[in-house]
Chains A and B, each alone.
Chain A
């Protein structure tokens, strides 16, 4: 167990830090969270800057056009970006963390040539069309149909909770190509151009008041067979393969952001006088212990991935623990705001110390609620820990004849 960084790792950090110092001041102002075209432009511009400097796809293999860095360098990369308050991956999330890695692993050489570079350079944005109104946790029950017609699949059905759909160029789409009850054995993974006729997007408003995700209606949408990644009916496995790219660093930025948020909560408590309440101080102390432990767990997970090349079980532990700690932090901040938390506006404090940070705290509290739902709910994560890690008996599945597929775990 060694927490010291090697000379090479330090050198990488130093070089990145100075690049960030010179680059960040030149960024345009951040767009409003409700301005989707503005967000797309901002996020993709940042991705282009990273790409030009050789920092795109830091965790992608070299064959895929990435930097092929070790998981430890990835960790440093994300840590430095957060420390410098650089922009987040934003709308490039699905392309960089999902679609790209999937195409690298399972795509044809033609597909790799066509799709990878535009993701790395911020030219094309992707979204994920997996969940359906009737298939969430039980993803393998999805019903959106893909019927082969010549060189196309004709796709009909609907998807839901598709993040960033409004600004996406492509969608990684799961469709049913096998029999109705084929479950995980009858799914195919398609690349859907979002401007194909028959694709209708209906934005959904989140509890945070933004249109972060959308419903997709697909009415006889023609997707070329050449856009299928992997074999027909093999889409479930193709989807799972992506997970092997996850090396424990997906939440590094979020975690460090949470540590910052705890500091601002403490500052707020000091301003309001709540800090003299031992109950408040102890809650803060507990949160600090939990966040520090999660940082240690991240390092453990990254070290494991660096040694073995595959993600260990620690990612599931992390997701469960982190989402709950983050929600506690949200509740803690909101309680500290008191009645200033009745609006997400930064109103001026009476102490002459400037505005009260209601905008960040209220929005963060609300966004935090999605953490135990998105990417596999906490209940599903507990099933995964219980069944796959501890070896407890599996959940019953209601379908007849269909073999039991691995529980869902995805981003």
Chain B
């Protein structure tokens, strides 16, 4: 047992961090804020060349043949860079939708409300992220995955997206679409999608911690850096602890998917998503607080991470459902995992 990153894994993460810092600096990432399209096509291709989408695709299928653990490390870095766009969906679609793997085709995904349970859909109509950027939209349900031409939808763009880098559309309903995969694939997409989304969240949680700490060292009030005040220092400490605990959960979930004999992957994944959603949201919030009035400005990027965390918390399992599924596992097994 060695739960540390291998040298290769550390280099992979490091390389992705360098790529993001060099190619996708925040000033550039922020350029399309509040517009209809946030995916930079050339950048998306670059991500494709770097293996972001085909990392887990088998080598025979033209992929890199890595495990979910490696993908999680890569997505952590994408999260840290606040990279927008349907990253997780395009990664999942690699191998299934032509061109998803190398980034030449941008694929989005939305959960299809279960037609058998109309009440489950509630009152909220279907909201689709990034529709303007998509070449292909996939509909995910227990039954499988279906593909839809985004242009065929009668969609209305919402004028005031909560996250300025996640434009959203509302549609009155969804067509059947063309089936592209069955229930088995749908199940593993839900699982892997949750892990990769969780990885984006911990990347952001780590980034907001750094942003807050940096500011706390430099901003002075009462004649000293505000980071010297415990009220601020302890907020930062809690951010660091939350991030690290959630990060271990995400890594363990990814490894458990790759090495099924070590535990119950679904339980590990649910816990990881739950804690990383919490960490990203709470850290986003704390990061704003540490910045004081500056934190409430559009300019300081703390709000971007906070808002993105809220967006991602609605994808691939929400708080209530995740906690319920964990509770169910406790009730079933009568004892915890080890």
CB distance from B107 to the nearest CB of A (A): 28
B228, B320, B322, B333, most chain A CB atoms within 10 A? B228
A4, A286, A394, most chain B CB atoms within 10 A? A286
Pick the contact of A278 from B270, B272, B324, B333 — CB < 8 Å? Answer: B324
| Contact code string B225-240 (vs A, CB < 8 Å = 1, else 0) | 1011010111011101
Q: Is the CB of A392 within 8 A of B228?
A: yes
In this assembly, does B267 line the interface, its C-beta being within 8 Å of a C-beta of chain A?
Answer: yes
Q: Is the CB of A262 within 8 A of B330?
A: yes
Pick the contact of B338 from A259, A284, A389, A393 — CB < 8 Å? Answer: A259
Per the bound structure, the CA–CA distance linking A288 and B261 in Å amounts to 20
Q: Is the CB of B335 within 8 A of A263?
A: yes
Per the bound structure, the CA–CA distance linking A309 and B130 in Å amounts to 48
Of B17-25, B109-117, B169-177, B247-255, the segment with at least 4 beta carbons within 8 Å of chain A is B247-255
Quick one: given A288-B326, A293-B246, A393-B227, are A321 and B241 in contact (CB under 8 Å)? yes
| Contact code string B211-237 (vs A, CB < 8 Å = 1, else 0) | 001001100000011011010111011
Per the bound structure, the CA–CA distance linking A87 and B77 in Å amounts to 44
Q: Is the CB of B336 within 8 A of A317?
A: no
Per the bound structure, the CA–CA distance linking A291 and B275 in Å amounts to 11
Per the bound structure, the CA–CA distance linking A293 and B252 in Å amounts to 8
List residues of chain A with CB within 8 A of the CB of B327: 266, 281-282, 284-285, 288
Quick one: given A1-B6, A266-B331, A286-B323, are A314 and B263 in contact (CB under 8 Å)? no
| Contact code string A294-322 (vs B, CB < 8 Å = 1, else 0) | 11110110111011000000100100110
Per the bound structure, the CA–CA distance linking A122 and B327 in Å amounts to 42
CB distance from A247 to the nearest CB of B (A): 13
Q: Is the CB of B233 within 8 A of A386?
A: yes
Q: How many A-B residue pairs have CB under 8 A?
A: 209
Q: Is the CB of B249 within 8 A of A289?
A: yes
Quick one: given A3-B259, A297-B248, are A289 and B3 in contact (CB under 8 Å)? no
List residues of chain B with CB within 8 A of the CB of A317: 240-241, 244-245
| Contact code string A365-392 (vs B, CB < 8 Å = 1, else 0) | 0000000000000010111011101111
Per the bound structure, the CA–CA distance linking A297 and B330 in Å amounts to 21
Quick one: given A293-B245, A393-B225, are A383 and B336 in contact (CB under 8 Å)? no
Q: Is the CB of B237 within 8 A of A390?
A: yes
Contact residues, B1-52 vs A (CB, 8 A)? 1-6, 9
In this assembly, does A260 line the interface, its C-beta being within 8 Å of a C-beta of chain B?
Answer: yes
Per the bound structure, the CA–CA distance linking A290 and B244 in Å amounts to 12
Q: Is the CB of B217 within 8 A of A393?
A: yes
Quick one: given A4-B261, A292-B271, are A282 and B324 in contact (CB under 8 Å)? yes
Q: Is the CB of A275 within 8 A of B331?
A: yes
Given A3-B3, A278-B320, A292-B268, list of 9 further CB < 8 A pairs?
A259-B337, A281-B324, A282-B323, A282-B327, A285-B325, A288-B329, A292-B267, A386-B234, A390-B236
Chain B interface (Cβ within 8 Å of chain A)? Answer: 1-6, 9, 69, 209, 213, 216-217, 224-225, 227-228, 230, 232-234, 236-238, 240-242, 244-246, 248-249, 251-252, 254-256, 259, 261-263, 267-268, 270-272, 274-275, 319-320, 322-331, 333-338
Chain A interface (Cβ within 8 Å of chain B)? Answer: 1-6, 9, 72, 75, 79, 83, 256, 259-260, 262-263, 266-267, 270, 275, 278, 281-286, 288-297, 299-300, 302-304, 306-307, 314, 317, 320-321, 379, 381-383, 385-387, 389-395
